[in-house]
Structure 1
Amino acid sequence: MRCWSYLPYRETVMATRLMSRWARLLGSRGPQLIASCQARLAGHPIPFLAVAHAEPLWARALNLHPQARTLCGRHSLSTWEEENLTVPRRTELDELVEKASSPREVLQLWAERDANANETALCVIQLARMVLEKGDSKHSDLLQDPRLQTMLDQVSSEVRKVWNGSLVGLLRALTSLGVAPGTPVLASLQTEALWRVRRFSYRQLVYLYEWACGRGAPQAEELLGAVVKQLELRWTELADARTVAALMARPAHLPPSLLDRLEDKALELVERFRAEDIRKVAVALASQGRRSVALFRALSYHIQQKPSEELKASLLLDLVFAYAKVNFHHSQVFQRIAGDLVPQVPRLTPGDVTRCARSFSHLKWLHHSLFEGFAEHYTQQWQKYSTLQLCSLLLSLAQLNFQPSKKEQFYGQVHAALEGALSDLEPFLLTDLVWSLCVLQQARPDHLRAVLDPAVQLRLAGGAPSRVASYGLKLQHIASTAQLEVLCPPGVVPDPPSTLDGQPTPLQSSLHEALRALAGGLEGGYRAGVVTVFGWTIDGELVLDSDNKPINLLGLKAPHLPGGGGGSPLPRGAHRIAFLASEFSHHGSKGRELLGRYAMRQRHLQLAGFLTVPVLYYEWAELKDDRQRMAYLKDKMGKAVAEDMAK
């Protein structure tokens, strides 16, 4: 029989099981079997094994090899693994290498001592760590050092003597040092790792998985598949929060079933997460579009418990990006993130500012101090902002309808930066930029002419139908700004949609019912769902005479309609009333302020001759019946007419 120390792992396991069964069989029936054999062979000469020994043959067999008794015990396999897989003792060379200050010193220490394969592997790992920490640009010369080549040859030829943790660390170290994927040493290490894949601890499997991701070579792909299989089979061994976070941060090659179990484990271990672990898990969930409400709530609770010293700016930016990506709202977390970011704004880069502003605008959450800091940051460092970053910042401000306190200085630098830059922008970005300036009431005639050019509109017509419709609507808003606010000819713009998209919301439906009751059965007393030439939709329209009574509006001139309406002018003293259903989504998530798009709608309709009556969702929800709703609308109309007459 081959020596146990040279048997491969799988052969050792099979031999162990065979000897265990043999020993149990001899242990229960050994004496009877031996006596039966002696009786059958009584007439034949027996070799030395049949005589002169009082001890049973099965017991003597176990005593022939001391390791065999251990291997055949009840816990033989686990005992063997404990004896062979324990962490090797630290040697003097290990301690000296840790104290070394340069790669050359590590190589010299190794050359002066007769190091075994595991010590050599640790020396290579320390070399890679030094190169990474110091940013040593001479690592290519280091690979040519004959001592390092000798070290790699040693670990390649004696790879079976390298401990599991050193083997995984060595693979990562060689990649950091720039060793080519097809070299013999890497092939040897990967083959050995593939043979040992069942013997690695779960944390070592995770490190090996991180290394194997993205290698691309066939041998690395085979190793990656084996590691993923072990990770899935042994997922119950997960007991470390950092390992869970590290595994979730690279979900590309993990099966969905394992990802679900990782979420459960993360929820179980979330109280042990560091702030960095929370960031990794949140970003991993966001990158996969997994909106795990329970886990995000737990992460939100624990991130609020962390001290501010742990919450660096980069971590906070990643967190708010993750929340925006999955559209998960948590006001306390947003308040904490914004509060911790305010003093750090001067140290942020323009990319950090625009990224954070875009995330908060997507969440519809406005923190005035933070956005004032963003505006001040641009005012002081506007030369460092690219045109793309400026466009992104303006779009964020427009979506939240935020005006800086020092807007003259801010917008002065914005216009200076945009001068001459519009012609270099692609049509979709140009449309977003000019639309944002229209919302912020900063659009100039040259901006409007640039985007309303027929050549630009022709290029906007290509793409997905939903995108074409969205940008066509923005062109309508820009043309309305040109006509109503800047007072310049809008040029040729696409026709507005003739019908509404989608079904009316509950607020719109109940508003239409209340308007029907308010008109009192008068034919043509109101309009519902009015699509205007300005690109805006009016939820309800009434015309009140001088006595504040609804009148038939079907025969009246209506410049806001695509067809122009009837031929009769509006009676003297009459008022056009536009009812605007102000839904929850039309307001910022922090307060009740209108977002930029809907503030511009109200402004445009007022300039078009309407008295606007916003029907706020939180006020409408408190009204119990039709009588209260009619009284609410009459009160709103009365106030609008009184304010108009006061002007």
Structure 2
Amino acid sequence: MASRLLVRCTRFLSRPSPLATIAASNQTNPISATNLSELQWAPARVWVPERRLCDVRIVARDENVPAMPRRTQLDKLVEKAETPEDILRAWKEHRGNGNQAAIAMVKLSRMVQGTQGSIPTIDADILMDPRLQDIMDTINGQVRSVNSTLVSVLRSFWAMNLPPSTSVLSYRQLALLVDWGWERPRSSEVAIVNAALKQLELRWTEISDARTVSALISKGERMSSSLMDRLEDKVVARLSTQEIRRVCLSMASRGRRCVPLSPPPISPTPLLLDMAYVYGKLNFNHSQVFQRMAAELLPRVPELSPIDITRCAKSLGFLKWLHLPLFEAFAEHYTANSEKYVTSQVCNLLMTLARLGFQPSNGEQFYSKVHSALEDSLRGLEPFLLVDVVWSLCVLQQVKPHYCLSLARPEYRAKADAALSGLVNFTPASPTVSPLQRALRESLQGLVLGRSTALRTAVDTVYGWTLDGEVMVDSENQLVDLLMPSGLHLPGEGGEQALPAGTRRLAFLAWDFPNFGLRSKELLGRFAMMKRHLQLADLLLVEVPYYEWLELKTERQRVAYLKDKMGKAVAEDMAK
């Protein structure tokens, strides 16, 4: 075909040009410059062939391209066969290679299956026929020679209702079948994939290469939990660094966290960043691994890009893990390269620092560049992102009045209303009471000896925070009744009655495990801000952290503990 096209093009080029023909026939009527520009062609390079086109054509054969196999008598008989017996008889008389066996198997299954595409009841004699067994043995022994018909062969095994114990295919080919049919929605193809997975589950001990293990784990939605557990056991022992990275990212996207996730020592930077993302996505806490990752990342921080910095910081923020030297390095990186950070990256970095309650040592330089970056871009943020950024600046004590005023703009309200209207069944989440809060509120009843007028629990404040309990004590540190006196933290200021002289208001706060950073007794950013707000309302805070409360075994111990905490809070206030 190519030679024909070349001959035709050469003949076409050998003709006189239309410009010359027109010029010869129109000597008395010269062509205008406009017409000439329309008729001109691009100049063609003159090509002189090494031989004349009329010579005998000799085509050189590429030694790397295999020659097409000749059609044999078996191919002709299989093609003309009308019944399964014709195919089996042809195979017995003219036994062929693996590719011919595959073609015969495909046609045989189509005959048995029929034209309706349903699974028929197959005669057991056909399945036990030694000629069929020989066809399958040939495919098994020469499977590498099976060309484009491999998937059709796999489908034919399923259509023939062959027992799962039939080991015609290797586990690699079964994995290929799973990959082939994974995204195909038709029920017949789903059934094929499920059948292949069933065989893999029965033959899981054969799976040995890392490529197949990682490929199967990445498509584990339909696998049984037992097969996934066995594959995950193989991950630790067999996979390379990059394969561990790929498998972990796949598992993070599905929220599965059974594999012991641990990067190898001296890991490349992309692997460390991806593993940090995986840990954050799966909420997988392992402080020793985090320490090692931070130690490896710390000297590489100057080489990281802004997206790497914000991505890693965000992942560690999800884990509530604050590594001070690493986050100091993140802050220094932003200070030195702030012009390379886009607005979204600045916002993500701010929200992470606010979540962890981290204040960089170079805070003045750091925040000056942050404010400079936000001045022009804050008004263009999406409503929810704008709220998160302003909230983060409040937590970090860096908010400016016009930041908060931007939330009251009519155009912002319109955007927020439009965003909320797009949410289906949007309802605010009802507050939940933790076991620690419930136990504290019960113990406070014992503290006041059942005097309902001396205690309020679950007190809502104008700041949006909820107090677990509130009591008042006089100058002698004795409980007094709460007669709705005024209070800055109460809606409507709680009434008009002023506090008696020497009276103090105490607020009880239960700090659960999620309120703290990982392996830390420091509160996260929002709860540190909560303390500041309540202290500004002239409340003495009685903090009850979970790690102290868990050591109290009896109700008597808890009441004594609360009395002691109240006494310390009053003493500290008097010392001021």
Q: Is the counterpart of residue 528 in structure 1 residue 465 in structure 2?
A: no
Give the structure 2 partner of residue 571 of structure 1. Answer: 500
207, 210, 215: which is aligned to 1:246? 215
Q: Is the counterpart of residue 363 in structure 1 residue 292 in structure 2?
A: no
Which deviates the most, 279-288 or 592-601?
Answer: 279-288
Q: Is the counterpart of residue 194 in structure 1 residue 194 in structure 2?
A: no
C-alpha distance in 1, partners of 2:136/2:211? 27
Assess, with a 3 A threshold, how the Cα gap between structure 1 residues 614 and 13 changes in structure 2: closer, same or farther. farther
- Check whether the contact 1:554–1:565 (CA below 8 A) recurs between aligned residues: no
C-alpha distance in 2, partners of 1:242/1:373? 37
C-alpha distance in 2, partners of 1:340/1:509? 43
- Check whether the contact 2:92–2:131 (CA below 8 A) recurs between aligned residues: no
Which deviates the most, 583-592 or 559-568?
Answer: 559-568
2:265 maps to a residue whose letter is P
Give the structure 2 partner of residue 307 of structure 1. Answer: 265
Following superposition, the deviation at residue 395 of structure 1 comes to: 0.4
2:142 maps to a residue whose letter is N
SS of match in other structure, 1:564: helix
Give the structure 1 partner of residue 545 of structure 2. Answer: 616
C-alpha distance in 2, partners of 1:514/1:222? 60
- Check whether the contact 2:487–2:537 (CA below 8 A) recurs between aligned residues: no
Give the structure 2 partner of residue 282 of structure 1. Answer: 248
1:106-142 CA deviation, whole Å, 9 max, x = no partner?
Answer: xxxxxxxxxxxxxxxxxxxxxxxxxxxxxxxxxxxxx
Which deviates the most, 580-589 or 13-22?
Answer: 13-22
Give 1 or 2: higher helix fraction.
1
Give the structure 1 partner of residue 58 of structure 2. Answer: none
Following superposition, the deviation at residue 593 of structure 1 comes to: 1.2
1:360 maps to a residue whose letter is L
SS of match in other structure, 1:581: strand
Following superposition, the deviation at residue 632 of structure 1 comes to: 1.4
C-alpha distance in 2, partners of 1:420/1:202? 59
Following superposition, the deviation at residue 225 of structure 1 comes to: 5.9
- Check whether the contact 1:205–1:227 (CA below 8 A) recurs between aligned residues: no
Assess, with a 3 A threshold, how the Cα gap between structure 1 residues 232 and 386 changes in structure 2: closer, same or farther. same
Assess, with a 3 A threshold, how the Cα gap between structure 1 residues 549 and 83 changes in structure 2: closer, same or farther. closer
1:287 maps to a residue whose letter is S
- Check whether the contact 2:151–2:177 (CA below 8 A) recurs between aligned residues: no
Following superposition, the deviation at residue 201 of structure 1 comes to: 4.3
Following superposition, the deviation at residue 558 of structure 1 comes to: 2.4
- Check whether the contact 1:519–1:525 (CA below 8 A) recurs between aligned residues: yes
Following superposition, the deviation at residue 416 of structure 1 comes to: 1.1
SS of match in other structure, 2:223: helix
2:514 maps to a residue whose letter is S
- Check whether the contact 1:557–1:569 (CA below 8 A) recurs between aligned residues: yes
SS of match in other structure, 1:403: coil
C-alpha distance in 1, partners of 2:567/2:497? 25
Q: Is the counterpart of residue 379 in structure 1 residue 437 in structure 2?
A: no
Give the structure 2 partner of residue 203 of structure 1. Answer: 172
C-alpha distance in 1, partners of 2:401/2:283? 36
RMSD between aligned alpha carbons? 3.5
- Check whether the contact 1:16–1:72 (CA below 8 A) recurs between aligned residues: no
Give the structure 1 partner of residue 139 of structure 2. Answer: 81
Which deviates the most, 446-455 or 384-393?
Answer: 446-455
Give the structure 1 partner of residue 563 of structure 2. Answer: 634
C-alpha distance in 1, partners of 2:376/2:143? 69
Following superposition, the deviation at residue 241 of structure 1 comes to: 2.9
Give the structure 2 partner of residue 547 of structure 1. Answer: 476
C-alpha distance in 2, partners of 1:17/1:85? 20
Following superposition, the deviation at residue 623 of structure 1 comes to: 0.9
SS of match in other structure, 1:524: helix
Identity, % of aligned pairs?
44
SS of match in other structure, 1:279: helix
C-alpha distance in 1, partners of 2:552/2:215? 52
SS of match in other structure, 1:258: coil
TM-score (normalizing by structure 2): 0.70
- Check whether the contact 2:338–2:369 (CA below 8 A) recurs between aligned residues: yes
Give the structure 1 partner of residue 358 of structure 2. Answer: 402
Assess, with a 3 A threshold, how the Cα gap between structure 1 residues 233 and 17 changes in structure 2: closer, same or farther. farther
Assess, with a 3 A threshold, how the Cα gap between structure 1 residues 553 and 459 changes in structure 2: closer, same or farther. farther
2:231 maps to a residue whose letter is A
2:230 maps to a residue whose letter is K
Assess, with a 3 A threshold, how the Cα gap between structure 1 residues 443 and 346 changes in structure 2: closer, same or farther. same
The 5 A counterparts of 1:217-296 are 228=193, 231-236=196-201, 237-238=203-204, 239=207, 240-249=209-218, 251=219, 256-258=221-223, 260=225, 262-270=227-235, 271-289=237-255, 291-292=256-257, 295-296=258-259
C-alpha distance in 2, partners of 1:74/1:197? 15
1:186-230 CA deviation, whole Å, 9 max, x = no partner?
Answer: xxx5xx34334467644355457657877x9x9xx8997697356
1:554 maps to a residue whose letter is L
How many residues of Structure 1 are paired with residues of Structure 2 in the alignment? 450
1:228 maps to a residue whose letter is V
Following superposition, the deviation at residue 259 of structure 1 comes to: 5.6
Assess, with a 3 A threshold, how the Cα gap between structure 1 residues 502 and 469 changes in structure 2: closer, same or farther. closer
1:307 maps to a residue whose letter is P
- Check whether the contact 2:245–2:274 (CA below 8 A) recurs between aligned residues: yes
The 5 A counterparts of 1:168-183 are none
Assess, with a 3 A threshold, how the Cα gap between structure 1 residues 466 and 352 changes in structure 2: closer, same or farther. farther
1:521-578 CA deviation, whole Å, 9 max, x = no partner?
Answer: 4341111000001111111111111111111112311232213323320111211111
Following superposition, the deviation at residue 460 of structure 1 comes to: 2.8
Following superposition, the deviation at residue 402 of structure 1 comes to: 0.9
Give the structure 1 partner of residue 14 of structure 2. Answer: none
Assess, with a 3 A threshold, how the Cα gap between structure 1 residues 436 and 468 changes in structure 2: closer, same or farther. farther
Following superposition, the deviation at residue 502 of structure 1 comes to: 4.1
Assess, with a 3 A threshold, how the Cα gap between structure 1 residues 355 and 443 changes in structure 2: closer, same or farther. same
Stretches of structure 1 lacking an aligned partner (at least 5 in a row): 23-70, 87-162, 168-188, 471-500
Following superposition, the deviation at residue 436 of structure 1 comes to: 0.3
SS of match in other structure, 2:479: coil
Following superposition, the deviation at residue 434 of structure 1 comes to: 0.5
Following superposition, the deviation at residue 3 of structure 1 comes to: 3.6
Q: Is the counterpart of residue 589 in structure 1 residue 523 in structure 2?
A: no
The 5 A counterparts of 1:452-467 are 452-453=408-409, 455-461=411-417, 462-463=419-420, 464=423
Assess, with a 3 A threshold, how the Cα gap between structure 1 residues 223 and 623 changes in structure 2: closer, same or farther. closer
2:315 maps to a residue whose letter is S
C-alpha distance in 1, partners of 2:179/2:76? 30
Assess, with a 3 A threshold, how the Cα gap between structure 1 residues 195 and 565 changes in structure 2: closer, same or farther. closer
- Check whether the contact 2:436–2:510 (CA below 8 A) recurs between aligned residues: yes
Give the structure 2 partner of residue 430 of structure 1. Answer: 386
C-alpha distance in 2, partners of 1:546/1:83? 95
1:59-97 CA deviation, whole Å, 9 max, x = no partner?
Answer: xxxxxxxxxxxx9699845653365345xxxxxxxxxxx
1:409-465 CA deviation, whole Å, 9 max, x = no partner?
Answer: 111111111112111111111110000000011111121211233543454345248
- Check whether the contact 1:241–1:266 (CA below 8 A) recurs between aligned residues: no
1:243-271 CA deviation, whole Å, 9 max, x = no partner?
Answer: 1112322x3xx6x4426354133233121
C-alpha distance in 2, partners of 1:454/1:551? 47
Q: Is the counterpart of residue 514 in structure 1 residue 480 in structure 2?
A: no
SS of match in other structure, 1:234: helix
1:194 maps to a residue whose letter is V
C-alpha distance in 2, partners of 1:469/1:72? 69
- Check whether the contact 1:539–1:578 (CA below 8 A) recurs between aligned residues: yes
TM-score (normalizing by structure 1): 0.63
